[in-house]
């Protein structure tokens, strides 16, 4: 049986982007179902009744929600490029960092924009980013995953790509080369990865105002 | 080689409790290292430099942090009682709910106590608990895991046990049998599970004032 893979998505979501990178790392064919967040489809509400959010992956009729849960599912089901290491200890280290990025760094960054660049929010975001900066410096590798990207890099795509757009759009420019040289170097490497390039350009360049509206609507108060 | 398993812990932490339940479900022998959160050991700071928090599991010299990451590690490394299902789709459903409890329900409950029972905080917590209530009603099983507990039940131990103590201690009593009959029934079943009983009684009954101090210090402002 041919796999049926559908991704319920909106352009401009770094969470959707995680799933698209994972699907492309595995070379999986999939269909995008564009959602209108102001008028969510009955499919989306039905497949993700708890969160009512994209991304949702529908694989042979089974709906999966939460971007990092979806990426782990993809890595488990499809062979090929390993997104998580196989070794249980290494796997736990990767999951730790992905969770740190997901539940600490990204909310701290959203607060910066939600608060229109409040000093306290910037100080808190800096503290979290410094931890990533130090980790990259300690590893001395191209990516969090080493020579290749892994779950940590995928989780952090917001920092590599969307943050720059958001900084530009709002003129809150705070992640600089002077302050976070390793993060900036990593971001440069990340957006040059073939699969990442493939995912980003066609879908991620909605008009800037629209992108900002998406971010503000979804994360402004978080 | 004999496995060396140490758990850096404090009494009264539902996050530590998750790991202890997992270790006991697998029948693993482990040594507790009690931490003083006001004066953290150099081991703890060294093993979890990012979060500087318990629980940390040290397995043959490898430190693992983040309670749900640790539970997944334990389930992967030790055979016996399965804490997550093997099937990748079922696994993703379980991870979805564990994450929902971890990152939405529990913070909502902490806000209730942090705000001393503010109306808005209670309304938000009710909304999240209602989702769990509906899920238990839809499943119609003894536990979130079915006939046996799984990762979801382990993640939710705070709701089954600590919430009651916190309600008592602060006199903010809001999770009632009338409002959440399924959750209350589940909580009753959960604390009767042999392994849960074994973990709870010896370690979880610090003097109530001390327990409240632990909760307030750690979660009061979250």
Same domain, yes or no, for B150 and B184? Answer: yes
Quick check: is A103 in a domain?
yes
pLDDT of residue A41: 97
Same domain, yes or no, for A116 and A165? Answer: yes
Query: Are the Cβ atoms of B76 and A59 closer than 8 angstroms?
Result: no
pLDDT at A220 over 70: no
Over residues A112-136, the mean pLDDT reads 93
Query: Are the Cβ atoms of B91 and A99 closer than 8 angstroms?
Result: no
Query: Are the Cβ atoms of A64 and B92 closer than 8 angstroms?
Result: yes
| φ, ψ (nearest 5 deg) of residue B64 | -130, 135
Chain B hits for A62, Cβ within 8 Å: 89
Considering only the beta carbons, identify the residue of A50, A72, A93 that sits closest to B131. Answer: A50
Quick check: is B13 in a domain?
yes
The band of A222, judged by pLDDT with boundaries at 50, 70 and 90, is very low
Residue A3, SS3 per DSSP = coil
pLDDT of residue B174: 82
Over residues A161-186, the mean pLDDT reads 84
Chain B interface test: which of A26, A53, A69, A83 (most B C-beta within 10 Å): A69
Same domain, yes or no, for A95 and A202? Answer: yes
pLDDT of residue A203: 47
Same domain, yes or no, for A119 and A69? Answer: no
Query: Are the Cβ atoms of A91 and B70 closer than 8 angstroms?
Result: no
Quick check: is B36 in a domain?
yes
Query: Are the Cβ atoms of A72 and B92 closer than 8 angstroms?
Result: yes
Domain end among B77, B111, B138? B77
Q: Do the beta carbons of residue A102 and residue A155 sit within 8 Å?
A: yes
Q: Residues A11-38: pLDDT tens digits? A: 888 999 999 999 999 999 999 999 999 9
CA–CA min distance A215, chain B (Å): 20
Distance from C-alpha of A149 to C-alpha of A131, rounded to nearest angstrom: 19
Chain A hits for B91, Cβ within 8 Å: 73, 76
Same domain, yes or no, for B41 and B16? Answer: yes
Chain B hits for A88, Cβ within 8 Å: 73, 76-77
Chain A residue whose CA is closest to B75: A88
Query: Are the Cβ atoms of A73 and B66 closer than 8 angstroms?
Result: no
Same domain, yes or no, for B145 and B182? Answer: yes
Quick check: is B33 in a domain?
yes
pLDDT of residue B162: 80
When divided into structural domains, chain A yields a total of 2
Same domain, yes or no, for A201 and A173? Answer: yes
pLDDT at A165 over 80: no
Domain end among B49, B77, B105? B77
Same domain, yes or no, for B69 and B163? Answer: no
Quick check: is A53 in a domain?
yes
Q: Which domain holds residue A133?
A: 88-219
CA–CA min distance B207, chain A (Å): 32
Quick check: is A213 in a domain?
yes
Q: How many CB pairs under 8 A join A and B?
A: 59
pLDDT of residue A201: 56
Of all residues in chain A, what percent carry a pLDDT higher than 70?
Answer: 89
CA–CA min distance A212, chain B (Å): 25
Alpha-carbon A92 to chain mean position: 19
Supply the DSSP string of A68-91, one letter for each residue.
Answer: HHHHHHHHHHS-SS-SS-SSHHHH
Residue among B192, B125, B83 at smallest CA distance from B133: B125
Residue among B76, B130, B140 at smallest CA distance from B100: B130
Chain A interface test: which of B46, B88, B90, B139 (most A C-beta within 10 Å): B88
Write the CATH number for B182: 1.20.1050.10
Output the average pLDDT for chain B.
Answer: 90
Same domain, yes or no, for B104 and B173? Answer: yes
Same domain, yes or no, for A119 and A179? Answer: yes
Quick check: is A83 in a domain?
no
Residue A6's DSSP bridge partners are: A31, A58
Chain A hits for B59, Cβ within 8 Å: 89
Write the CATH number for A25: 3.40.30.10
Domain end among A77, A98, A133? A77
Q: Give helix A163-170 / helix A208-219 axis angle, nearest 10°.
A: 100
Q: Say if the ipTM goes beyond 0.95.
A: no
Q: Residues A54-112: pLDDT tens digits? A: 999 999 999 999 999 999 999 999 999 999 999 999 999 999 999 999 999 999 998 98
Same domain, yes or no, for B116 and B174? Answer: yes
Query: Are the Cβ atoms of B77 and A88 closer than 8 angstroms?
Result: yes
Query: Are the Cβ atoms of A64 and B103 closer than 8 angstroms?
Result: no
Q: Residues B150-202: pLDDT tens digits? A: 999 999 999 998 887 777 777 788 888 889 999 999 999 999 999 999 887 54
Q: Residues A180-215: pLDDT tens digits? A: 999 999 999 999 999 998 887 544 555 566 666 666
pLDDT at B88 over 80: yes
pLDDT of residue B199: 87
| Sign (positive or negative) of CA dihedral A50, A52, A58, A60 | positive
Same domain, yes or no, for A196 and A117? Answer: yes
pLDDT at B143 over 60: yes
Distance from C-alpha of A58 to C-alpha of A64, rounded to nearest angstrom: 6
Quick check: is B82 in a domain?
no
Over residues B146-151, the mean pLDDT reads 98
């Amino acid at each position: 049986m041919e796999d049926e893979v559908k991704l319920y998505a909106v352009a401009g979501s770094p969470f959707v982007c995680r799933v698209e990178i994972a699907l492309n790392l595995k070379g999986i064919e999939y269909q995008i179902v564009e959602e209108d967040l102001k008028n969510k489809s009955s499919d989306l509400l039905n497949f993700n009744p708890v969160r009512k959010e994209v991304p949702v992956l529908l694989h042979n009729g089974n709906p999966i929600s939460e971007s990092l849960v979806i990426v782990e599912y993809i890595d488990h089901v499809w062979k090929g490029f390993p997104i998580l290491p196989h070794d249980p200890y290494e796997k736990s280290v990767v999951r730790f960092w992905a969770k740190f990025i997901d539940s600490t760094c990204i909310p701290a960054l959203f607060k910066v924009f939600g608060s229109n660049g409040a000093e306290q929010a910037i100080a808190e975001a800096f503290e979290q980013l410094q931890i990533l900066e130090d980790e990259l410096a300690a590893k001395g590798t191209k990516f969090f995953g080493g020579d290749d990207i892994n779950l940590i890099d995928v989780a952090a795509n917001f920092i590599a790509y969307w943050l720059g757009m958001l900084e530009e759009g709002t003129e809150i420019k705070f992640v600089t080369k002077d302050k976070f040289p390793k993060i900036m170097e990593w971001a440069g490497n990340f957006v040059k990865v073939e699969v990442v390039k493939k995912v980003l350009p066609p879908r991620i360049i909605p008009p800037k105002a629209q992108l900002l509206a998406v971010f503000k609507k979804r994360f402004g108060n978080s």
